[in-house]
A = this chain, B = another copy of it.
Amino acid sequence: MANEFTERVAAIAADRSHGSAEIARLCLALLADAAERVHARDAVELRTSLQRLAATLIASRPSMTAVLRLVSLWLDRYSHSPPPELHDQREAASRAARALIDESRAATRGAARLAARQLETCRTLLTYSYSSTVREAIGLLPADVHVMFSEGRPLNEGYRLAEALSKSRRKATLVTDAQLGSLLQRADAVLVGADSILTDGSLINKTGTLPIAATAAHFGVPFYTCCESYKLRTADMPEPTLERMSPGELGAPEWPGIVIENVYFDITPPVLISACMTETGRRIFPGYRDDDTAHP
């Protein structure tokens, strides 16, 4: 049984195809299952095991604020007044995790709805990487809205979006990541998800978001991010680490003296962002782009 969870933690650490809201929910589902089934002789041992598992999950995705916040929230809720009996504690811990999964799903839906409303006049939307919130927002847009997006090297999570858009019969164009800058000239707006929103409104998202935002600002195309509010970092949290993955993911040959870097996230500063949509509303941080289109 321990093995089952070790393997699932490893899969979450290595997961490149899901957005961070989905990954946070995978963590909660794992914790719910562990609460029900992990070996424990009594309530104290269960709690110790689950706390250790929670810490491991948080450490496995240091760029993803939703993982930190939702897993911490779960720990808080179920540790607040834990039932003394093993069976009751299993049930309480599992119920708390599954309730948070539902809350997170509702938050994603709310953020997507607000993003779709913000894009009311948009006919051509550019997006980048894979975000379940963005995907849900696109589903709410009129059928003739055209979506432009890219591969998402090195592991091509753009393919996942391609499949989803194709299934929902959305008109869409796929390009290399490098072509997005040029395509911005044909876009009415950019909408991306978020791995984290820092306290000043900066956006941590898949590497390549920053140059899109800089080019969008150059062309005067509004740049929006949308996510559940669990992705907003609070002042007491440390700066998140930008995850580095294996250089081997690039599939490049090796050359003596040539170092290959594979950093998954970049930071887009507030001045390049028009607005951030969460389920609690549209936020315009003080340093955000002075952008009429952000206030329709």
Contact = CB atoms under 8 A, between A and B. Distances in A.
B172 A258 contact: yes
Interface in A204-262: 206-208, 210-212, 214-215, 217-218, 250, 252-253, 255-262
A14 interface: no
Q: How many copies does the complex hold?
A: 2
A196 to B, nearest CB: 15
A54 to B, nearest CB: 30
B257 A176 contact: no
**Could you say which interface size class chain A belongs to?**
35 or more
A153 interface: yes
A180 interface: yes
A166 interface: yes
Nearest to A150: B178
A26 interface: no
B177 A252 contact: no
A141 interface: no
B259 A173 contact: yes
Contact of A252 (B165, B174, B210): B174
A166 B266 contact: no
Given A166-B258, A170-B257, A173-B261, A181 B208 contact: yes
Interface of A: 151-154, 156, 159, 162-163, 165-166, 169-182, 206-208, 210-212, 214-215, 217-218, 250, 252-253, 255-263, 266-267, 272
